[in-house]
Chain A
Amino acid sequence: MNNDKRTIVFDDDIVRKFLIVTIVWGIVGMLAGVLIASQLAFWKMNFNIPWTSFGRLRPLHTNAAIFAFVGNMMFAGIYYSTQRLCKTRLASDFLSRVHFWGWQLIIVFAAISLPLGLTRGKEYAELIWPINIMVAVIWVIFGINFFWTLAIRREKTLYVALWFYIATILVIGMLYIVNHLQIPTSLLHGYPIFGGVQDALVQWWYGHNAVAFFLTTPILGIMYYFMPKAAERPVYSYRLSIVHFWSLVFIYIWAGPHHLLNTALPPWLQSLGMVFSLMLWAPSWGGMLNGLLTLRGAWDKLRTDPVIKFFVAGITFYGMATFEGPLLAIKSVNALSHYTDWTIGHVHSGTLGWNGFMAAGMIYWLVPRLWNTKLYSIKLADFHFWLGMIGILFYVASMWVSGITQGLMLNAVSTDGVLKNPNFLDTLNSIRPMMHLRLLGGVLYLLGFILLAYNILRTVRTGKAVNGTIEVLEEEGHADEVALGFWNIFLNPPVMYSLLIIIFTMMFGVGPDTLKMFALVMLIFTLITGYLHMELSGSSWGEWYDRLLNHAMPFTILTFLAAAIGGSIQIIPTLVMHNKNHIEGYRQIPYTPLELAGRDIYIREGCYNCHSQMIRPFVSELMRYGAYSRIGESIYDHPFQWGSKRTGPDLHRVGSKYPNSWHYKHMEDPRSVSVGSNMPNYGWLITDQTDLRSLETKLKVMIQLGVPYPKRTMDEIKSEALAQGQLISDSLKKEGIIVEPDREIVAVISYLQQLGKSEKVDQPIKE
């Protein structure tokens, strides 16, 4: 036997790199957040210039917070822990560096392109297609580096943190690629291949699960590594890890449609979104329990160790947010909360509380170890904790009050059959104090984080970068010594019972009446058999799982299947059934060239960040906005513009509601016609020329996407657009407004005046 020992040096340099940029981008992202919060409260903070207006900066804030701040934090945590959990150095120094520099380059491109108005008009998926390709490539490189490291690991068994990392890498890859499928019209612009309801479903499948698999699962993995390390206590329950991991991965993916409750989304999808959100509550809390209860026997550290403080508070906020989430996903609660600040508060208790505090805890724990020194000041870290905590509470509480107030005001109908608050602006101005409190909360949180940056800077100065090492036996080889075999991966009781349960549940869900009853009986039979089988087989199921944990590839395949089922069952039928022929009686009229140009300007300015185009079937909305939005009325919208937040009113039926001159004045200076509005001025639309040249390619792409446009030459398109512009220009002239027909504002007016106009088509209305 060869007992020679060998020293492995971990690549901690890459961890330090990711950690430093986490802090830098964190400050940038939070600064952007504070700026846009101030813009909501004080419209002048938009500075009357395009690059700093709310609609362009809000995507910058969200992208920076998610992909730059949490992204880099996740990479640091994953790279640090994976090397140690696998007892090996990362597979490739080169790939790690490509990953690092590539990701930073993406962030820089995003920071440049978003203020310029280069956007795809889909939330958290705004970046334009060349950057999308970069993201996909870098993500794959990250994946290769990670799985390669798993392949050469010396520790056979996969620790629970690694399960979560595996799920993250696979699912984010899948979500990102599908939601970014598009046809380019130029180097800087493209149209998503999905339109209307299909685009809405795919977008929120992505959007919701970006929260799940970018902001949640990797951080849970990080929690499973750093929490027991910092507490120096064992993890509370291995079997809870198993149950909550698999239920989380399986259930999360289905919940996306809860972002589209009470909209034109088909009812069966809305119901799935709601009930899966409710079922998600327990799996989420499983993670919280395992995190908090790991501290059993070490609660005293909560008083002294800032790392534990941040972790405990972060996990508690996770528990709070994952309780609030299912609550907001209940259809009747959502009727009140949707489009209001309540949702914004909810997501910030997740990002500020869970992500931000877990990041802070991890940074305070890692930096002294990576630089072989002590933290410069524990007091300062404590102070950061309390500043951050008070900041979050200000932020979240004000958003609760604001969201519930505005929701109630907007939905209120008086007994004599009229809206209690017919003017939208009354509801906006009643929540102004809350906007100020939220701003204060954000500033406090940012200040706390700046303290962290200072503390870390001082700490690093006193230390010296060191790389962790580990001694391994020379003969400790790589893990996958025996292939598990097809039988052992798939054809075993736990997997087969799960599969049967899913199949019978599906039959119950969508089968014809007779089959439903049969499926339900079979389902109950399977559950009972499975339970008895498990009890009778003693520990053999557990042994199977332990064996599975020694095999990275089979584990990865099963994880992918668990996560892919939900999306497929929702998206594939929607793509097949809800195509451009499925319109339920109302068909959208395709945009004229000028209107399409106007729409692209609307998207460029990020109007969808504050205006929805989806009237829900409530009496109050019918009164306020007009007939509710039908599924067929946005089939030609690539991307869809249903929106998720109403800082201003819904715009779906704004067409013909006001004269052209109203729109002109409203965009030049919103307050001239809407007293008390917080919308930015869009002066540049009046001076800038509409880009008509790109229309030829854009219309061609629209034809490819299935929009029934006639073939037109460039000259025809141009003259048609100018003729329509001339009509608007003439009508404005009558009101004393002189504007050339080729200005952007004319295109936007043409678009707005067309909104909500569809043709009725006699087609049997069915579910």
Chain B
Amino acid sequence: MSEQPLPNSTKQNEDPLRPHSFDGIQEYDKRLPNWWLWTLYLAIIYAFAYWFWFHWPSVGGIVDQGVEAEQELNRIQMAALANGGGEVSDDQLWSMSQESVTVAAGKTTFMANCAACHGPELKGGIGVNLVDSTWIHGGKPTQVVQTITNGVLEKGMPQWGKVLGKKRILEVAAFVLSHHTKDEIK
């Protein structure tokens, strides 16, 4: 560092002061820094753009985070089942029965294939009532899956295993279970 003294003329004393003083405090009136102004402007523009994108129905940026997360979860679980041995526990099935995407998929399959006998409200008809508390072939989630997959031929319940495939059967089971709670089936 050189020891050269700074020229005095470069001092900021040339900035005009505001005429008033408060208890000895004076004020300059410097221009707002451009980078500061642009930080503010860009944030405001971003705010409008964000709102435009996410809250203007016809733009379509609106997402239902919950549905998205459930779809993603459903995809991951089904992929895992397809890759692994496909074994699924009672607890897993109970939690699947809480996922609206899985349950909705199960409902579609149910209405197309099962409602003819079990009724659109699951109250039974040719087939048994699925919303009461009687479980002829076992009410544990894995037992329900078993019943759908292998059927109960002597009672008229067909085998669905090959027809629907594992994924749809689990979804149907989740749909049926969504009408029940864990506590009620022991």
Using a CB–CB cutoff of 8 Å, the interface residues on chain A facing chain B are 81, 84-85, 87, 155, 157, 159-160, 225, 228-229, 234-241, 243, 247, 262, 267-268, 271, 274-276, 278-279, 281-283, 285-286, 289, 293, 296-297, 413, 416-418, 508-509, 513, 516, 617-619, 621-623, 626-628, 630, 656, 757, 767
Contact = CB atoms under 8 A, between A and B. Distances in A.
A418 B40 CA distance: 43
Contacts of A767: 62
Contact of A157 (B20, B47, B79, B182): B20
Given A619-B72, A622-B69, A627-B99, A237 B28 contact: yes
Query: Which residue, B17, B20, B23, B183, has most C-beta atoms of chain A within 10 A?
Result: B23
A278 B68 contact: no
A282 B43 contact: yes
Nearest to A516: B56
B47 A275 contact: yes
Given A85-B22, A278-B43, A417-B80, A271 B28 contact: no
B32 A239 contact: yes
A282 B36 contact: yes
Given A234-B17, A289-B36, A626-B98, A656 B183 contact: yes
Interface string B20-43: 101111111111110011011001
7 contacts: A159-B23, A234-B27, A243-B32, A276-B47, A296-B12, A619-B73, A628-B66
Given A155-B22, A267-B54, A271-B54, 7 more contacts: A157-B22, A234-B26, A237-B27, A237-B31, A283-B40, A286-B36, A417-B80
B6 to A, nearest CB: 12
Main secondary structure on chain A at its contact with chain B? Answer: helix
Contacts, number: 135
Contacts of B36: 282, 285-286, 289
Contacts of B32: 237, 239-240, 243, 286
A698 B144 CA distance: 44
A241 B20 CA distance: 15
B73 A622 contact: yes
A271 B55 contact: yes
Contacts of B50: 271, 274-275
B76 interface: yes
Nearest to A157: B20
A87 B26 CA distance: 16
B135 interface: no
A262 B77 CA distance: 23
Nearest to B18: A238
Contacts of A235: 25-28
A417 B17 CA distance: 66
Contacts of B29: 237-239
Nearest to B65: A617
Contacts of B27: 160, 234-235, 237-238, 241
Contact of B28 (A238, A267, A416, A509): A238
Contacts of B31: 237, 239
Contacts of B181: 757
A160 B27 CA distance: 10
Contacts of A656: 182-183
B44 interface: yes
Contacts of B43: 275, 278-279, 281-282
Contacts of A268: 55
A283 B39 CA distance: 9
Nearest to B33: A289
B85 interface: no
A262 B28 contact: no
B35 to A, nearest CB: 10
A627 B178 CA distance: 12
A155 B23 CA distance: 9
B58 A228 contact: no
Query: Which residue, A282, A508, A630, has most C-beta atoms of chain B within 10 A?
Result: A282
Contacts of B24: 229
Contact of A84 (B18, B23, B62, B68): B23
B137 to A, nearest CB: 24
A623 B48 contact: no
B23 A85 contact: yes
Query: Which residue, A160, A297, A622, A630, has most C-beta atoms of chain B within 10 A?
Result: A622
Interface string B46-75: 111011001111100010011011101100
Interface string B131-166: 000000000000000000000000000000000000
A618 B22 contact: no
Contact of B99 (A159, A283, A622): A622
B186 interface: no
A652 to B, nearest CB: 12
A234 to B, nearest CB: 4
Given A279-B44, A289-B36, A236 B30 contact: yes
Contacts of A621: 69
Given A282-B43, A626-B95, A617 B30 contact: no
B4 interface: no
Given A262-B65, A276-B47, A281-B43, A417 B79 contact: yes
A229 B112 CA distance: 81
A297 B11 contact: yes
A417 B80 CA distance: 6
B89 interface: no
User: Which 6 A-B residue pairings sit nearest by Cβ, starting from the closest?
Assistant: A282-B40, A275-B47, A417-B80, A234-B26, A237-B30, A417-B76
